[in-house]
Every structure is written in C-alpha cells, then in structure tokens.
C-alpha cells in the first residue's frame, strides 16, 4: 500500500530477501546443496537457466530444477537466460518445475531482451500458475518494461552482463533501480526489485538496498563463506543496515 506522502512512502522499504544462485554450487550434489541453502535460512533459491544462445554459457533445463524440489521446501526462482524459442516452447515445463512443494507459484523470470512477445509470455506464466517476473540486462532501459509493470511480481535488474558468476558489479545500475522503485510507488504496485551480479556483503548490496532493491541474488558472494548461514546472515545484515540509513560507500 502506498502512503499518501510519496516521499515518506519511498522510505518505506520492502522486506529483504536473500536468494542464492546455484551457479557456484556442486552440481553433482545439487539436491544436497539446496537442502544446505534452506538450512542456511535463504528466502528463495535461483536457478540460472542458460541455453548458450541468449548468453554464451550453457547450464541446465527444467529437469534439474524439478529434481531438486524433493530436497527442500524453500521457494524456487528460475531466471530464463534463453532464446525466445526456448522460453516460449519450454515455458510450461519451467513454470511447473519452479512451483513450491504444494504447487505454490514459483518465480519465473523472462528477459525483456529475449522476448518480442513479452506481454504474452508474462501472461502465460501467470495462467500456468507461476509468479511472472522480468529481467533487464545492464544496457536495457526501464522504459522497455513500463507497459507491463502491472503484470509482474518482481523486476530483476542485472548488475552484470548475464552468463557467468564471479563478475564485477556494475555500479551505474543504481539510477535504474531508483527509477523502478519510484514508478512502483507512484503507481501503487506490489512489485519487488531484485538485483543479480557481483552482489556481496559490502558496498554493493548496501547501495542497491538504499536505492530500493529488496531481493538480492548472490552466487560467489554467498558460496565464498565457509558457512552458508554466515553468508546469508551477513548479506541480510548489510542490506537491513542500508534500509535503516547505515550505508557502506563505494571504496
Ligand atoms: C549471471 C548469473 C550470476 C549469478 C550470480 O548470469 O545469474 O549473476 O547468478 O553470480 P555472482 O553473485 O557470483 O555475481
């Protein structure tokens, strides 16, 4: 709900969610990994689907995601870094695989750049029982999705060029995050803002949280810790501090 005073409501942040990417995990033990991530206290788990077409890298399809479901109850999120052909043709399988243990909607993220029929794809994700969301590569302006903001539950602002983990965070995405946050408030939308790429428990998550992001995808920034729980707790703590005005500035 947006309060009457937009300025005041901008300061009303949305709950922090820590969402590890499985990219750096031990894929030969992915079931054990998602169980460990659930025990570490994460809010959701992101599966980076890559087809070697939309991005150079190649990862896995819906079967890997579906196979992980029985190992944990935590919600899943599927980022479709794939061509329009794969996204449209396999959409039902991705939505089904991403659902919760009792069929709850899972977050399915379509890339604005990969889908010339983005409005139709997002509508289909909702119709199939998923939680439709949209991702923007670093070069893509917010205006490319302003006409479908009423259809999504999350907007993912990529803070790296998609395809690989361990890349350097791109700090110039902050204005895009702020613009989306302002649009969400002014239009009284119930939309989370996610960031993905180079997010660590330092100035990166801090400035993104201050700018209005509330969902944080971390791969290397999470798996670098000896304990996944420590990683999750540190990421959450820095983001919460930023929402409370304690910002870590860029070095
Ligand atoms: C990019 C990938 C990565 C991954 C997170 O396509 O989606 O952003 O999830 O990688 P780190 O946290 O290592 O940058």
The pLDDT tens digits of the residues spanning 10-25 come to: 457 899 999 999 999 9
Q: Which two tokens stand for residue 46?
A: 């992101």
- Per-residue pLDDT reduced to its tens digit, 149-187: 999 999 999 999 999 999 999 999 999 999 999 999 999
- The Cα 55–Cα 4 span in angstroms is 43
Residue 7: DSSP 8-state: H
Ligand 1 in contact with 23 (CB < 6 A)?
yes
Contacts of 225 (CB under 8 A, 6+ apart): 231, 234
pLDDT value, residue 2: 37
Over residues 233-237, mean pLDDT: 98
Q: From CA 7, how far away is CA 147, in angstroms rounded?
A: 23
Please indicate whether residue 162, judged by its CB atom, sits closer than 6 Å to ligand 1. Answer: yes
State the pLDDT at residue 9: 42
- For residues 35 and 210, give the distance between their C-alpha atoms in angstroms, rounded to a whole number: 31
pLDDT of residue 6: 42
| Residue of minimum CA distance from atom 10 in ligand 1 | 165
Alpha-carbon distance of 61 to 149, in angstroms, equals 27
pLDDT at residue 154, as a whole number:
98
Identify the burial level of 67 via C-beta atoms within 10 angstroms of its C-beta, where 0-12 means exposed, 13-18 middle and 19 or more buried: middle
Residue with CA closest to ligand 1 atom 1: 162
Give the residue, out of 44, 54, 76, 164, with the most ligand 1 atoms within 8 A of its beta carbon, to mutate for a pocket test: 164
Cβ pair 29, 64 in contact under 8 A? no
201 ligand 1 Cβ < 6 A: no
Q: What is the mean pLDDT of the chain?
A: 95
Contact 221, 199 (CB under 8 A): yes
Residue with CA at minimum distance from ligand 1 atom 5: 219
Q: Which atom of ligand 1 is nearest to the CA of 218?
A: 12
With a pLDDT cut of 90, the percent of the chain lying above it is 95
Q: Is the C-beta atom of 217 inside 6 A of ligand 1?
A: yes
pTM: 0.94
- What distance in angstroms lies between residue 1's CA and the mean position of ligand 1's atoms? 31
What does the domain layout of the chain look like in residue ranges? 2-248
Using the mean position of ligand 1's atoms as its centre, give its distance from the Cα of residue 103 in Å: 27
Kindly tell me the burial class for residue 96, based on how many C-beta atoms sit within 10 Å of its own C-beta (0-12, 13-18, 19 or more).
middle
Q: How far is CA 43 from CA 21, 33, 83, 164, 207, in A?
A: 12, 15, 28, 22, 20
Which architecture, in CATH terms, is 2-248? Alpha-Beta Barrel (3.20)
Closest alpha carbon to 90 in 115, 57, 119: 115
Q: Is 160 a pocket residue for ligand 1 (Cβ < 6 Å)?
A: yes
Any ligand 1 atom below 6 A from CB of 57: no
């Amino acid at each position: 709900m947006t309060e009457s005073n937009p300025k005041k409501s901008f300061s009303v942040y949305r709950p922090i969610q820590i969402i590890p990417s499985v990219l750096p995990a031990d894929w030969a033990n992915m079931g054990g990994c998602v169980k460990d991530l659930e025990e570490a206290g994460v809010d959701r788990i992101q599966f980076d689907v890559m087809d070697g077409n939309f991005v150079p890298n190649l990862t896995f399809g819906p079967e890997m995601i579906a196979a992980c479901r029985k190992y944990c109850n935590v919600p899943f999120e599927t980022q479709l870094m794939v061509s329009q052909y794969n996204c449209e043709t396999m959409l039902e399988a991705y939505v089904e695989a991403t659902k919760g243990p009792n069929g709850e909607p899972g977050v399915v993220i379509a890339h604005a750049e990969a889908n010339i029929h983005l409005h139709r794809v997002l509508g289909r994700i909702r119709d199939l029982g998923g939680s439709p969301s949209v991702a923007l590569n670093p070069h893509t302006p917010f205006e490319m999705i302003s006409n479908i903001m009423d259809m999504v539950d999350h907007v993912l602002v990529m803070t790296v060029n998609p395809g690989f983990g361990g890349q350097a965070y791109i700090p110039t995405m902050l204005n895009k995050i702020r613009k989306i946050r302002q649009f969400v408030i002014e239009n009284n939308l119930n939309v989370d803002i996610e960031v993905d790429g180079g997010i660590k428990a330092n100035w990166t998550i801090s400035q993104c949280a201050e700018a209005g992001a509330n969902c944080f995808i971390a791969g290397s920034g999470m798996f670098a810790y000896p304990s996944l729980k420590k990683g999750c707790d540190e990421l959450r703590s820095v983001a919460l501090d930023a929402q409370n005005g304690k910002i870590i500035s860029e070095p």
